[in-house]
Structure 1
Amino acid sequence: MYRKLCFGLLAVTLLQGCATYVEHKLLNRVEPLGIPANMPEIIAELGGESRQFCMPHLGGCTEYLYGAPIKDETGRSFSFTAVGDDKTIEYKLALDRKQIPEARRGTMVMLHGYGGSKETMFFLADYYRFIGFHVVIPDLKGHGGSSHDTPGFAVEDADMITTLIDSLPARERPHPIYLTGFSMGALAAVHVARQRNDISGMVLLAPMRQFEDAVYEVTKMTYKNTSKIVSEKSIREGVRNALVTKEIDPSSLDLHQVLPPVKVPTLILASDVDPVGPYDYFEALNSRYVTVKLIQDRHHFLMGIMDPKMHEHLYTWLQKQR
């Protein structure tokens, strides 16, 4: 009996330690996803500008990318090669001005996901620039060039994003203003739209499902060894504890709760094989304001890569908003 009790107490202690580890990881600066070392040079060559924006009243600074519309090119090609464990997939799209006539489109503010950065959104930004948008891509709190040591979990990023938008000269953020958000950035986009009355539309790419579920699924995908050691129960407990520490209501990170009250035209693109933001989780959100489209057989981290099907859904929807 004594031996069983000791093993039981040891198990409880280990589980509590694992939950604390998860909480600690979530509440500290996010480890960046790998990006090419020459990415700043690539962005500069493509016409992007890297800038810093400081917000004394919000307690810190962040970096952001700005890009003007591409008007001097008759065509643009987009290509990306995804190398997986068992297959390699190439995504390609070629556009010319006959398909994309020049038009005044406004500004697209782009918000990366958890673990990403402004740089991870720039290739999609290049597509937006070619079809006529000014683009603005900030680093979210606790990511990239942000001076904050703790992530904002979408909710706390909204004040920073809306302040940045307001700080830009009118020539760099002409109306209409749209938001594009990927994964957690999709939730940040919705919270920005809830604060403002000048958002004309939102594009939500692979928006994450309920935060607790999303963190568990991402852990299984990207930290396979950790997910074998740390139990699902501990991961979920660590997530809940992190939100309590940040005083964030879990319902504020559930698209089913925060999106319906926002009467802004919204396009959701989701995949049928993405456990983080599955299509069938969002299908019920189809409404007068919300359009949900399926992107088949697309990994979560590839949902921001442009190809003919993505272009068809996105460009067609944008044309309807004019």
Structure 2
Amino acid sequence: MYRKLCFGLFAVALLQGCATYVEHKLSSRVEPLGIPANMPEVIADLGGEQRQFCMPYLDGCTQYLYAPPITDVNKRNFEFTAVGENTTQEYKLSLNRQQIPEARRGTMVMLHGYGGSKETMFFLAEYYRFLGFHVVIPDLKGHGGSSHEQPGFAVDDVAMITTLINSLPARERPHPLFITGFSMGALAAVHVARQRNDISGLVLLAPMRQFEDAVYEVSKITHEQTSKIVSEKSIREGVQKTLMKRDIDPATLDLHQVLPPVKVPTLILASNVDNVAPFEYFKTLESRYVNVKEIPERHHFLMAIIDPKMHEHLYPWLQRRR
């Protein structure tokens, strides 16, 4: 009996420790995804500028990328190769000025997902630039070039994003103003739109589902071995503790709760094989303002990569917003 009791207490302590570990990881500066060392040079060669934006009243600084539209070329090829453990997938799209007959005018603010950075969105930014957009891509709190040590979990990023937008000269952020958000960045995009009255459209790529579910599904992808040791219950408890300590209501991280009140044209692109952001989960959000389209057989972390299928949905939708 005594041995059983000790084992039971040990198991409880272990589970609590696992939940604390999850909370610690979520509350710490995010470990960056692998980005090529020469990426800053590549971005500079393509006409992008890395800048610093400081907000004294928000107690920190962040870096962001700015790039103007591409208007001096008649053709652009977009190529990306994703190398996995067992497969290699190539994404290719070629566009010319006959297909894109007139350059748009406007600004696209782009928000990366949890674990990403401004650089991870630049491939898609090149597509937007060819369409005629100015692009602005900040590092969110706790990521990349942000001075904050804790992530903002979308809701705490809003003040920084909207202040950055307001700080840009009019020539660098002409209207109409759009926001593209990937994964957690999609939730941040919606919260920014809730606080501004000048957003003309939202593009949500694989938007994060309910936070507990999303963290659990991502952990199975990015920490496969650890997820076999740390139980689902511990992961969910760690998420709950994190949000409680940050005083963040879980409902503010649920797209089904925060998007319907936003009367802004919205395009959601999601994959049928993405457990972090499954297409079927968002299909019920279809409405007068919201279009939900499927990108088949696409891994979650590749949902910000442009290809013919994504262009087929994205370009006509943007054209209707002119």
TM range (shorter): over 0.9
Give the aligned residue type for 2:135: V
Q: How many residues align?
A: 322
Match of residue 164 from structure 1: 164
The whole-number CA distance in structure 2 between the counterparts of 1:128 and 1:202 is 14
The whole-number CA distance in structure 2 between the counterparts of 1:89 and 1:117 is 22
Deviation at 1:104, TM superposition (A): 3.1
Deviation at 1:86, TM superposition (A): 2.1
The whole-number CA distance in structure 1 between the counterparts of 2:251 and 2:200 is 24
The whole-number CA distance in structure 2 between the counterparts of 1:105 and 1:92 is 25
The whole-number CA distance in structure 1 between the counterparts of 2:181 and 2:23 is 24
The whole-number CA distance in structure 2 between the counterparts of 1:123 and 1:104 is 19
Query: What RMSD over aligned residues (CA atoms) do the two structures have, in Å?
Result: 0.5
Give the aligned residue type for 1:150: Q
The whole-number CA distance in structure 2 between the counterparts of 1:101 and 1:150 is 44
The whole-number CA distance in structure 1 between the counterparts of 2:228 and 2:106 is 47
Is contact 2:71-2:103 (8 Å) kept? no
Deviation at 1:101, TM superposition (A): 1.8
Alignment of 1:164-243 (within 5 A): 164-243=164-243
Is contact 1:211-1:250 (8 Å) kept? yes
Give the aligned residue type for 2:59: G
Q: Which runs of 4+ in 1 moved over 2 A?
A: 102-105
Instruction: Give unmatched runs, 5+ long, in structure 2.
Output: none
Q: What secondary structure is seen at the aligned counterpart in 1 of 2:76?
A: strand
Q: What secondary structure is seen at the aligned counterpart in 1 of 2:148?
A: coil
Q: What secondary structure is seen at the aligned counterpart in 1 of 2:156?
A: coil
How high is the TM-score relative to the length of structure 2? 0.99
Q: What secondary structure is seen at the aligned counterpart in 2 of 1:4?
A: helix
The whole-number CA distance in structure 2 between the counterparts of 1:169 and 1:27 is 34
Match of residue 310 from structure 1: 310
The whole-number CA distance in structure 1 between the counterparts of 2:192 and 2:65 is 18
Deviation at 1:193, TM superposition (A): 0.2
Q: Residue by residue, what CA displacement relative to the aligned partner does 1:122-150 show, whole Å, maximum 9, x if unpaired? A: 01000000000000000000000000001
Give the aligned residue type for 2:82: A
Alignment of 1:251-266 (within 5 A): 251-266=251-266
Deviation at 1:46, TM superposition (A): 0.5
The whole-number CA distance in structure 2 between the counterparts of 1:37 and 1:103 is 32
Give the aligned residue type for 1:104: R
Greater Cα offset, 173-182 or 95-104? 95-104
Is contact 2:104-2:131 (8 Å) kept? no
Match of residue 244 from structure 1: 244
Q: Residue by residue, what CA displacement relative to the aligned partner does 1:277-317 show, whole Å, maximum 9, x if unpaired? A: 00000000000000000000000000011110100100010
Greater Cα offset, 98-107 or 3-12? 98-107
Is contact 2:69-2:132 (8 Å) kept? yes
Is 1:50 aligned to 2:50, yes or no?
Answer: yes
Match of residue 79 from structure 2: 79
Match of residue 117 from structure 1: 117
Instruction: Give unmatched runs, 5+ long, in structure 1.
Output: none
Match of residue 143 from structure 2: 143
The whole-number CA distance in structure 2 between the counterparts of 1:315 and 1:102 is 12
Q: What secondary structure is seen at the aligned counterpart in 2 of 1:285?
A: coil
- Between the aligned residues of both structures, percent identity stands at 79
Is contact 1:71-1:102 (8 Å) kept? no
Deviation at 1:85, TM superposition (A): 2.1
The whole-number CA distance in structure 1 between the counterparts of 2:83 and 2:118 is 22
The whole-number CA distance in structure 1 between the counterparts of 2:283 and 2:125 is 26
Deviation at 1:105, TM superposition (A): 2.5
Is contact 2:117-2:144 (8 Å) kept? yes
